[in-house]
């Protein structure tokens, strides 16, 4: 039985026929085939995809079980929640390319933190979240308990402590969807984030006594190794990388770590790979390392379905998601 295409998918299938447009179609079709064979998919989020409001489509992908794990930067983890509780106070700056130094300084004076064309309000977003998460950190610290960064946010979302501040429909928050599914999340380098800086400040002041109350990146890798080993024993795991950097580089290395460093035999390689990126390898951008280079590192195999979409992820990722969901 052939499923009728949704309107967005019909448009894309009819018009996206060549070059990066065709690569986008191929990658989405490959994702669907991977799932149809019983495979699972990890999505990695670099850049500022949460502030780009990728949650509008990603949340539904999570709810429809098209995504089974996420690796993201600390910024993407927190910025989905910033948008959830402070969206109405955000300001868009469409002429961001021509802002003068004086205009940038004026934004600073107003505590409007700019991410490309979008300004995040410090008081409504960052300090509002800090108040709630600090209480969770301190409670865990006092009880001698330790959790990963995303687990603290799951606890907050499930408690309802932020609900009075919601300013978008929670169905458009990928973190809300992830909490509902108890989705595995890996946040390498969480310390390099606004809330990571907040946490450091509260360790310095002594409000949080044990610096390890928030679990670390090495612990994320050891957890990921266990998760990958258990799941890959029965199903193939795919890897959809949005952008580059640590969000993608960290989790993809679990395979060579298991094989080369732990000397385990028959470690399954990633069963699908796609990267949306505009990085140019000849400029030294490791984030732009093409899939075939990953073969030499023991991450992918010669038979792995591999795709590269050389374009803007804020445009392409929602379209791939729409195709996978047949919207």
Q: What is the pLDDT of residues 217-245, one digit of tens each?
A: 999 999 999 999 999 999 999 999 998 88
What is the sign of the dihedral through the CA atoms of 289, 290, 294 and 295?
Answer: negative
Q: What is the pLDDT of residues 247-256, one digit of tens each?
A: 999 999 999 9
Q: What is the pLDDT of residues 291-322, one digit of tens each?
A: 888 999 999 999 999 999 999 999 999 999 99
Q: What is the pLDDT of residues 158-179, one digit of tens each?
A: 999 999 999 999 999 999 999 9
Contact 162, 132 (CB under 8 A): yes
Please give the pLDDT value at position 277.
Answer: 86
Reading the block at residue 54, the tokens are 């990728």
Whole-structure pTM value = 0.96
Evaluate if residue 282 carries a pLDDT over 90: no
Please give the pLDDT value at position 241.
Answer: 97
Q: What is the mean pLDDT of residues 77-103?
A: 98
Evaluate if residue 154 carries a pLDDT over 90: yes
- Strand ranges (E), the chain: 40-45, 69-72, 91-92, 112-115, 118-121, 185-186, 237-242, 272-276, 306-309
Q: What is the mean pLDDT of residues 174-201?
A: 98
Helices then strands, counting H and E runs in the chain, come out as 14, 9
Please give the pLDDT value at position 286.
Answer: 56
Please give the pLDDT value at position 3.
Answer: 74
Evaluate if residue 283 carries a pLDDT over 90: no
Residue 22 φ then ψ, to 5°: -70, -35
Strand partners, 240: 43, 274
Please give the pLDDT value at position 2.
Answer: 58
What is the DSSP code string of 31-95?
A: HHHHHHTT-EEEEEE-TTTTTTTTHHHHHHHHHTTS--EEEE-HHHHHHHHHHHHHGGG-EE-TT
Where residue 290 falls among pLDDT bands split at 50, 70, 90?
A: confident
- Nearby residues of 303 by Cβ (< 8 Å), 6 or more positions away: none
Evaluate if residue 106 carries a pLDDT over 80: yes
**Distance between CA atoms of residues 290 and 275, nearest Å:** 8
**Distance between CA atoms of residues 203 and 128, nearest Å:** 19
Mean pLDDT of the chain: 96
Where residue 287 falls among pLDDT bands split at 50, 70, 90?
A: low
Evaluate if residue 103 carries a pLDDT over 60: yes
């Amino acid at each position: 039985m052939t499923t009728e295409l949704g309107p967005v998918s019909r448009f894309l299938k009819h018009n996206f026929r060549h070059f990066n447009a065709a690569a986008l179609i191929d990658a989405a079709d490959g994702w669907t085939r991977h799932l149809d064979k019983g495979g699972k998919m990890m999505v990695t989020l670099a850049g500022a995809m949460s502030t780009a409001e990728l949650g509008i489509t990603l949340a539904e992908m999570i709810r429809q079980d098209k995504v089974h794990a996420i690796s993201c930067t600390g910024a993407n983890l927190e910025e989905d929640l910033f948008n959830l509780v402070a969206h109405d106070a955000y300001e868009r700056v469409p002429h961001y390319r021509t802002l003068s130094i004086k205009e940038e300084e004026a934004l600073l004076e107003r505590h409007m933190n700019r991410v490309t064309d979008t300004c995040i309000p410090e008081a409504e977003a960052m300090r509002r979240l800090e108040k709630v998460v600090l209480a969770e950190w301190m409670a865990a610290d006092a009880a001698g308990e330790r959790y990963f960064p995303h687990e603290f946010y799951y606890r907050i979302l499930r408690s309802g402590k932020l609900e009075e501040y919601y300013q978008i429909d929670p169905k458009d928050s990928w973190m809300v969807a992830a909490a509902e599914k108890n989705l595995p999340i890996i946040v390498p380098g969480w310390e390099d984030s606004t809330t990571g800086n907040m946490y450091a400040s509260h360790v310095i002041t002594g409000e949080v006594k044990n610096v390890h109350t928030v679990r670390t990146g090495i612990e994320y890798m050891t957890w990921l190794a266990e998760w990958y080993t258990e799941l890959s024993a029965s199903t193939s795991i795919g890897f959809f990388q949005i952008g580059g950097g640590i969000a993608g580089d960290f989790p993809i290395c679990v395979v060579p770590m298991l094989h080369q460093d732990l000397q385990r035999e028959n470690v399954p390689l990633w069963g699908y790979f796609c990267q949306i990126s505009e990085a140019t390898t000849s400029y030294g951008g490791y984030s732009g390392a093409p899939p075939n280079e990953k073969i030499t590192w023991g991450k992918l195999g010669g038979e792995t379905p591999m795709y590269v979409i050389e374009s803007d992820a804020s445009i392409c990722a929602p379209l791939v998601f729409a195709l996978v969901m047949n919207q």
